[in-house]
Amino acid sequence: MVCFTPVAFSASYANSLWSEIAFRITQSGGPLGTLIILLITGYSYTLAQVTYRQKTLVFIKSVTGLVLIFGLFNYVNEGYTKPVLKRHRPSHEFMLKQTGELNQIDSLYRLSRKQRQIFFDTLTKENVVKFKQIDPEILTLWVQESGFAFPSGHAFNAFLLAMVLAYAIYYN
């Protein structure tokens, strides 16, 4: 089934183990997953230190620095890059296509994020049958993530995290 569907929707089927695994992997690049990995990375930097004071200082400095760097990149991505590129979310296009309202997509992206969330929440509740094949947790995420799609914040975080972890491994 995965091989014959578009990549964006290859892990969205209700009650599917593959959907659950893919969802968790994707979420590891989200805010909570990123924070956990940054804390682990900060801890790994402390391993080379001898005293508790040195470990604490290195941990605080490294985590603070990493959070600031990731926060800055997120701010630039969400505040500047995405609004300039204006790439609609494939999930939103799919949802509108399912309900025959794809022609509304440009006007929807003129609304605020909160208004788009309300619109898509209402859309899914009024068209339950059309979305029954989609995993409810994934559908909820599609409603919540109402900003522009590209560049992906999760992919962006995953790349930065890979670089940070590679440095942490090299450092130790």
Residue 76 has pLDDT above 80, yes or no: yes
Residue range 122-145: mean pLDDT, rounded: 80
pLDDT digits (tens, 9 = 90+) for 3-58: 444 445 555 666 677 777 877 777 777 778 888 888 988 888 888 888 999 999 99
Query: Band of the pLDDT at 59, cuts 50, 70, 90?
Result: very high
Residue range 105-113: mean pLDDT, rounded: 78
Please give the C-alpha separations between residue 78 and each of 29, 64, 104, 109, 131, in angstroms, as whole numbers: 15, 21, 23, 14, 28
pLDDT value, residue 169:
78
**pTM, to two decimals:** 0.66
Q: Percent of the chain beyond pLDDT 70?
A: 89
Burial zone of 107 (CB within 10 Å; 0-12 exposed, 13-18 middle, 19+ buried): exposed
pLDDT value, residue 14:
64
Q: Which comes out higher in pLDDT, residue 8 or 95?
A: 95
Residue range 134-147: mean pLDDT, rounded: 79
